[in-house]
Structures are given as C-alpha cells and as structure tokens.
Structure 1
C-alpha cells in the first residue's frame, strides 16, 4: 500500500543514482513545471534541505524522515550531506513543521518577497503580476514577515554555508541535491582545500630518533618548501645537518630559520653558500626556471659544487639540467622520491637516484634522514623513468579505486563496508586503504596533490610516445584526473579524483 504524503511532511527523497537526501514535501512554484509522468506512483515536489533546490520525486522513492532517519543518515558521509542534516534538524528544533502541512514562511514566499524588492529597485523588471489567489496568500505572508525574521536569517545562513550564489538561481531547477550549483561536489571553486596544520619543525619524529644519523660536515642548500620540501628540510635540520633554505614565498622560511636553518635571498645565494644544493619544486618547468632563470642555480654553480634535483620531472628535463650543471664544472644527481607528505615528515621516503656517484655517496646522511632506503640507478634519466613507472601504477590504481567506490555508492552499497572487506583481501595495502578512507570522508586533505599525480601521468604518456609503448589505461586515467583538476580539485589530495569518477 503506497504511503500518502501531504505538504510539509519531512521525508527522505531519492533521485536515481543518488543516496537519499533530507527534504520536505512542498507546493511547486509556477516556474517549476511538473514533468510528464506515465507511471502509477504519485509524484511530489520536494524541497531539498542544505541546497535550497526543488525536484519532482515519485512516492516510491520517498520515505518518512523520522522513521528512516537512523538508516539513511549512514548512507552518505559528504560535507554537503552533513550540512543538509544540520539544516533539517535545525528546522525541526525550531518547530517549523505545522500539523496542517502548511509552512507560511516557505522558500517560495521568501522568493516572492525578494522578487518584489528587486522589482522595486530594478527598472528592467516591468512585467505586471497577475492577482491570483496564490499571489494574495503570498502577499499575506509578506505582511506577517516581521514575526518570522529569525527564520529567514536562519535559512539565509544555511544557503550561505553551502556556497549558494542566490536562492533565485536555485529554485527554478528541479535538479537533485548533489547536482545543484551549491553542492560540495559540483561547485569545487567554492570549496576551500582543507587547512593544512602548521608543520612542527622542531619536533623529531620517532622514526628519525631511531635512525641515529651521523650528519655530514658539508653545508646543504634546499630550494622549495612545499608539501614535500618542508618535511624533508625538517628532517635534515633535526638530524644535525647545516641547511640554508630558500622559497618563493619567503614567509615559509621563518619557522625553519627559528629551528636553526639559514635563509638565502635568491637560489643563486643558496648555491653560493652551500656545498650541495637540493631542489624540490612543482614541475619540470619550475625546475628549469630554478636552474636557468634570473638569479638561478647556474649563476653560482662552480666546480665541485653539487646539485640534486628532487622535483618529479621527465628524463629529458633532467638530462638538460645535468648538461648545464656539468658544463660549468658542477656535479649533478637526480633524486626522485616515492611517498607522500606524511612520509616526507616522518622520514620514510624511498629515494631513486641517478647521475654522479660521488655526489650520491656524499648525500647518504641526508638520504638517511629523508627516507628509509635509497637506490642508485646509474646514468641520468634512469631515476626519472623509474619514478614515472611507479607513479603510473599509483595513478591508474587510484583511478580504479575511485571508480569502484563510485559504483558501490551507485549500487546502494555502503562504502565503509567495501573498504572493510577490501582490508581482508590480498588487494589490501596502506595506499589503497588510506585513499579509500579519504574518499569516504570526502574532505581530501592533501597528501599528494592531484595536479602532481596528473602531471606524472602526463609525463609517463610522453615517455610512452617516445618509446611507442601503448598505455591505454594510463591515457584514460589521465583524462579523469584532468577533469577533476579542471573542476578545481588540483590542490586537493589525489583521492579527489573520486569527484570525477562519481559524477
């Protein structure tokens, strides 16, 4: 026997392909046209909490909010869903549900009032309003507005919290909650990257304490204090190495200076003061700019000075830098790193090195502080190639995980159950499990930026072009990352590729 709902009832409304979302049965506005409906199940206009959107939902896809609250609240872990729950609970707490099902302060009434205000202020709106019984009820509601002022402010705060540009942009589209312009997933430009806790530079990690490193007597420079560079420099300082640092944003150097490092005004100043200089910047172009640019590394590189490139680059870029350094009598080593921000901070990276063997040997105490193992792979370019091969594996695997989790959600399975089962299988590994948890939590705090993963896939594809080696899976994964990056998730963790896989 089908349930019968009336205006004002609080429900869980499910659109095809989406988890149930908290809503309220409402009267549609004249702009919200009822879709053609051939099925026997009744259809209702639903106001979706947290997004201030409306949509038409069949009765078979609706459940009573209170009766199914405990079950449905477990089906979605996104921030947008949590805001929607908060909004409906606030609505209930303030006693804004009426026994007769009518809500005299409905969003449509507020829109009516706002449109009247706009009409008074904007000469362009000249179309007269028809006096209908519905319009009269709205005018009556406007007269009662002072008594409802706190309610209107609360609703506005809900809209602002979701990043909605304006209720007037939302009410005319019957789109689902997570397909609206105000949601977490489809308006990434309004979603700030999770705040990264400040790095505690002076505190030694337990891993570093256990290593008992004998620091080198040489002086080391370090260019770039980003996500990876900060953790690496922290361990160099705390292991007793003498370090001089530089970063494009000079404020980032302050905590390291307090911890005992020196600060150089330009990359060339760092190279001049140091015996060996490390560089860890964003991409191949940034690496070239660091070497060949104004006040760059080449300005002060000289015989016997060493330069170690830790930026994720392609073999050709590495060879170009090596040639320039060697031409001026310097020594060059590429030292690619495998790991994330956490590994960099804990000193558990894996270092892949190639180039000058004597420079590799002189950097051993530094590599001990940075990671758990280091490998010498021969001539310049081999380390970059090895790194791209490993990054290709990681990128394709993560894209596959994202699609699997999206499929599970679409099929009505709980993602936490998927991860719990996965943990007991032979596929379980720290990387997959960590990224799976990040997908479920939905915040995507940055461990490895998505834009860096996409960059490595692009470089892998470039290497495959030169070798005429087909990489169809990597090519497809690269497109998924590119789309997620275009949506605004480039600086979020690579697990944010789930956004594109899901939608």
Structure 2
C-alpha cells in the first residue's frame, strides 16, 4: 500500500477543543485540509488559515485522500461513517478512513468490515493528551487496524503526536484507550482527594504538588490538571460528558469480559453526579467540586 503523500488532501470532521488544534498541526505539516463540523462557526479560525469548508461529510469524503474524524459519541461515529449519506458510501476507493474519536471497539470492527466493501481502508486511532497534547502535537495515539494501513498512514500521525503505537487489529486502538480511561478514572479521584487533604491540613497545595508530582505519586493528571484545580480553572481540556461516555464504554466492555472494575464504577458514579449538577461541559478536573 502506498504511503499518503505530504501534499495530500485530508478531510477532518469535528473541529472542537481537540480537533481544531489537530487541523492546525496538519496544515503546518503541509497537508491540504478540508473540514466539516456541525457548527460551522467552530471552523471559522481554520478557514482563515486555508482549510476548505464542506456542507456535509459526504461532500467532504468525495474530495479527499483521507478522512479523519474526531467527534463526540459512538452514535455520531456510526452515523458519519455508516449512514446513507455517510463517508464510507461516498469516499473514493483506497481512501483512508481514520476514526480518532474514543468509541466502541465493536463499532471499529463494524466500520472496517463495511469499508472493505467499498475498497476503503480504516484505522481506529483514539488519542490521549488532552487539549495541551493536541495543541503541541504530542498526543499519544493508539492504533488498531491492518498493519500495512498503519504503516502507510503513520507519517500523518507523526504530525499530531509523539507516542504512536500500533496495537493490533481493528478495535485494538479503542480497547487500548479504554485501558487509558480506566487508569485515569481512579487517578483523578486520587488527585482530587490529595489536594483537598492538603487544603484541610493547612498546607499550600502548590508547594505540596512540588513534593509529590515527581515521586511515586506522579502522573499526567497530577502534573497537568492539579495546577488547574489549584488555580480554579475548570474549563475543559476534555469534557466531563465525554469522559462519562468513555467510562460507560469501558464498563460495558469489561462486563462482557467478566472483569470487575471497582474504581472505574465509583469514578463514573461521581462524574454522573457532577453532570446532573450541570458540570457536563467542564473539564474532568472539576471532579474536585465533589470533594470541595
């Protein structure tokens, strides 16, 4: 399979917190970007720097060599790929179809099977790293699909991230992302509990952070989200509503495999409370409000 060329036309569907920065990095890398988002105003900044707008995913798919999606929910992914006016039915043969949404492993397999009927190739490639990782092109990218498709598309991933790992066949990228979200779920509880403990003990939270973030307690969440909590910044690098969706997928998959996930289920119950209280559009660090 031929590798995608640097000057290729890439379609990008979903220009939110993560997607917007990813499009910018692809433009910087020399690709010609075509974009679609349900809310066109979210793409205005990208159109100003050369991206081409399309009114529908189908229209976009007919004009590009690859389509990357970064949307909200598995239902969105299924509609965009497999609907009557979806990208699978409208893409040219040999088009790369790359879903970077955190979605269902079983849906990734379903999309691959359907795309093969239309002579297109797919990868499921969810990411970790939040808004900062997207902005600085240092996302961790977890990839499932055929090895030769991954090899052909890897140069595009290199414009978006630094830790790019092929995990196996279709669905493997999504399963790996579930491992990531399971680890984060309990970790975020620990980060919030540690900070509230420090506060109640009369300590300076920022000074405590200096001592613990480089030791055995260290984590990405502690180093990147604890400072936001301390500064009262609960704006989203990653939405609570999307994290709840991810945890739901992970719980369902774990249940199907007969795995008990105590920490994951507790974390989801706390985030569910936050969403019910109106915090769904805040960042995951807003879990601190439960303890506060």
Question: What TM-score comes out, normalization by structure 1 length?
Answer: 0.55
Instruction: Pick from 146, 152, 165 the counterpart of residue 356 of structure 1.
Output: 146
Q: Which residue number corresponds to residue 373 of structure 1?
A: 163
Q: Which has the higher helix share?
A: 2
Question: Could you say which structure has the greater relative contact order, defined with CA pairs below 8 angstroms and 6 or more residues apart?
Answer: 2
Contact 1:391 1:457 in 2 (8 A): yes
Contact 1:215 1:240 in 2 (8 A): no
Is 1:284 paired with 2:74?
Answer: yes
Q: Deviations over 1:305-356 (max 9, x none)?
A: 2211100012112112222222222211111111111111111011111113
Contact 1:480 1:501 in 2 (8 A): no
Rounded to whole Å, the distance in 1 between the matches of 2:5 and 2:136 is: 17
- Residue 302 of structure 1 deviates from its aligned partner by 4.1
Contact 2:61 2:92 in 1 (8 A): no
User: Aligned with 1:319: secondary structure?
Assistant: helix
Rounded to whole Å, the distance in 2 between the matches of 1:453 and 1:501 is: 18
Rounded to whole Å, the distance in 1 between the matches of 2:205 and 2:6 is: 48
What are structure 2's unaligned runs of at least 5 residues?
none
What are structure 1's unaligned runs of at least 5 residues?
1-213
Q: Which residue number corresponds to residue 457 of structure 1?
A: 247
Is 1:233 paired with 2:23?
Answer: yes
Change (3 A) 1:314 1:305: same
Q: Which residue number corresponds to residue 259 of structure 1?
A: 49
Rounded to whole Å, the distance in 1 between the matches of 2:131 and 2:81 is: 25
Contact 2:225 2:285 in 1 (8 A): yes
Rounded to whole Å, the distance in 2 between the matches of 1:262 and 1:383 is: 29
Rounded to whole Å, the distance in 1 between the matches of 2:145 and 2:33 is: 23
Map 1:25-64; keep pairs closer than 5 Å. none
Instruction: Pick from 376, 393, 401 the counterpart of residue 183 of structure 2.
Output: 393
Rounded to whole Å, the distance in 2 between the matches of 1:308 and 1:424 is: 36
Larger Rg: 1
Map 1:47-446; keep pairs closer than 5 Å. 216-293=6-83, 295-423=85-213, 425-446=215-236
Counting matched residue pairs gives 289
User: Aligned with 1:234: secondary structure?
Assistant: helix
